[in-house]
Amino acid sequence: MARVASQTFVPLPQLTPHALAEALVALANTDGGIIAPGLDEQGQVVAQFAAEEVEAALRAAAQHTTPPVRATLEPADEEGLRLAVHVPRSVDLHTLTDGRVLVRSGAENRVLGGDEIRHLAATKASGDFEAETVPGATLDDLDDALIAEYIAKRQLRTRRTLNLPSHDARGAASLLREIGALDLAGNPTVAGILLFGKNPQAFLPQSGVVFVKFPGVEPRGESGRIGYGRREEIGGPLARVVERTWQVILEEMRVGAVVRGLEREEVLEYPEFAVREALVNAVAHRDYRLRGRRIEVRKYADRLEIISPGGLPGYITLDNLVEEHFSRNPRIVQGLYQWGYIEELGLGIDRMIEEMIAAGHPAPRFHATAYSFTVTLSNMRERRAAPHLVLPTAEGAVTKMRVKINERQARAIQYVREHGRITNKDFQALCPDVTPETLRLDLADLVEKGVLLRIGEKKGTYYILR
C-alpha cells in the first residue's frame, strides 16, 4: 500500500529548497518524521533524486531556517524510492527566515499564531526529558521478555521482520538506540526505563498510577467520612501500567443490559474505548519531570476522572485539542503505538467523543491547568429522542420533518453526514452569500433542537450529529 502524507510523513514531489525548508521546520517543531523526495501526495514515485542532489537541497534549505534543522539522508523504506530524509524532533524552536513558525498538523504544515508560538517555545525550553539517561541504570535493568514482546508486536503491526541477533537487550541494542530507549553509548534513557524497565519506579517513582474509588460524588467515604471504597497503587513498565489499571477500572465499572430484538446485550458503565484512550493518553503524555505526583484515576458514582501531571504540551490548547497533535514524549508515544496500545496517532480524542455520545453520555470534559490535565467521563445517559430528519433531494427540495429547519441548515446536515463534522468555516464555504453571524445562529439553532452537538470552543469548534 502506498504511503500518504501524515503527521510524521511528508511526501515532496519537487525538491525545492523552499518546500524542503518548510517540511524540515514543521517536522522538527512537532514530532519529527520522514521527508520523501520524489513522492507525490498519492504515494506514487514521480522522480528519483541522487544523493548529491538531496544533500545540495538540504544545504540550500538550511539557508531558509533559523536555527538550521538537523537532518540525515537514509535509504528509503518506500517501494520504488531510493532515499529519504530523516528529521528528528528538535529541542529548539525553528523558524523560517521570513519569521513563520510551522508545525506538522495532520497531513499539512500549519503556521502558528502568537500565543501558540509562546506555548511551543515554553515547552521546547524545558528540554527533551524522555531522551535523558537515567543515572545508575544499565542494560541489566531492562526486561528481556518485555523487549521480545515489543519486537513481536511491532513486527506484527508493521508486517516487517526485524533482522536482529536476538530479541534481548543486547541483541536488540541497535533497535533500542533507534527508538530512543538507549543513548549512543548504550545507556538506558528515561523512555527506555519506562517502556522496558524491570522496575521503573525504582528510578522514577512518579511513573505509576493511583486508582481510588469513592462511593458518592465527592471525595469522601461512607456516611460522608473522609475515605474511599478502594485504593490501588499500580506500577511497572508503562505497558503493564496500562493493562493493570484498565483491569482495575473494568472490575469497578457497573454493567447494565439492553435488549436488542430477542438478544440481551451487556453494556458497560462507560464505553471501553473512551476509558482506555483517556488512560493511555495520560500515561503517554504526562510530564515525567514532575516528581511527587502520579497519574490519578478517581471513580465516583457519577463520573470517572483521569488526572495527568503536567499541563498541555507544545502549542496544544483546549481550543485546538481535538484537531491538533503534539507529543510531549514522542518516543514513549511511538513505543506504545508500535506495541498496539495506541490505535492511530492523533485520532483518539475524536473517537473518544464519538463513543461517549453514541452511548448516550455527554461528551468528555477537559480541564487544563499549568501542572495538570484532567479528562472527566460522565456516566449519566442523556434521554433524548433522535429527530427524524429528511435531507434535501438532489434538486435541493426540503420535505416536512419533525424538526423544522431551513434550507441552509439542511445543507449543513447533509455536509455532516458526508464528512462527519462541520465547522463555521465549512458552513461559510457552503453558503458564501450569507453573513457569518446568520450561519452561526443556524448552527446554534440546530444544537438547541438536538440535531447537532457542538464540540470544542472558539477556533477549535466543530459540530457533529447527535
Cβ–Cβ under 8 Å, residues 363 and 356: yes
pLDDT of residue 36: 93
Cβ–Cβ under 8 Å, residues 359 and 256: no
The C-alpha cell at 263 is 438478544
The C-alpha cell at 83 is 532515499
Residue 189: Cβ-neighbour burial (10 angstroms; 0-12, 13-18, 19+): buried
**3-class state of residue 219 by DSSP:** coil
DSSP letter (8 states) at residue 207:
G
Cβ–Cβ under 8 Å, residues 195 and 172: no
DSSP-derived secondary structure for 221-268: -GGG-S--SEEEEE-SSHHHHHHHHHHHHHHHS-EEEEEETTEEEEEE
pLDDT of residue 119: 83
Q: How many CA atoms lie within 13 A of 104 on its CB side?
A: 30
Domain 407-465 has CATH 1.25.40.10: no
pTM of the complete model: 0.71
Residue 79: Cβ-neighbour burial (10 angstroms; 0-12, 13-18, 19+): exposed
CATH architecture of 206-378: 2-Layer Sandwich (3.30)
What whole-number distance in Å separates Cα of residue 236 and Cα of residue 194?
8
Query: In Å, how far are 29, 87, 128, 314, 350 from 112, measured between CA atoms?
Result: 11, 20, 21, 11, 22
Residue 238 phi, psi (nearest 5): -60, -40
Tens-digit pLDDT string for the chain (466 aa): 467 788 889 999 999 999 999 999 999 998 889 999 999 888 888 999 999 999 999 999 999 999 999 999 988 877 778 899 999 988 889 999 999 999 998 889 999 988 889 888 877 766 689 999 999 999 999 999 999 999 999 999 888 899 999 999 999 999 999 999 999 999 999 999 999 999 999 999 999 999 999 988 888 766 666 677 889 999 999 999 999 999 999 999 877 655 555 565 667 889 999 999 999 999 999 999 999 899 999 999 999 999 999 988 888 888 888 778 888 898 999 999 999 898 766 667 888 888 888 888 888 999 999 889 999 999 986 544 333 444 443 333 333 344 567 778 878 888 888 888 899 889 988 888 888 888 888 898 898 888 888 887 777 788 888 7
Cβ–Cβ under 8 Å, residues 456 and 423: no
Buried b (16+ CB within 10 A) or exposed e, 160-184: eeeeeeebbbebbbebbbebbbbee
Give the domain ranges of the chain.
9-111, 139-202, 206-378, 407-465
Nearest to 331, CA basis, from 150, 185, 194: 194
Kindly state which CATH superfamily the domain 9-111 is placed in: Schlafen, AAA domain (3.30.950.30)
Cβ–Cβ under 8 Å, residues 392 and 398: yes
Residue 432 phi, psi (nearest 5): -65, -20
CB atoms within 10 A of CB 256: 12
pLDDT of residue 395: 38
**3-class state of residue 37 by DSSP:** strand
Bond from prior residue into 67 cis (ω within 30 degrees of 0): yes
Cβ–Cβ under 8 Å, residues 11 and 41: yes
pLDDT of residue 386: 38
What whole-number distance in Å separates Cα of residue 280 and Cα of residue 379?
20
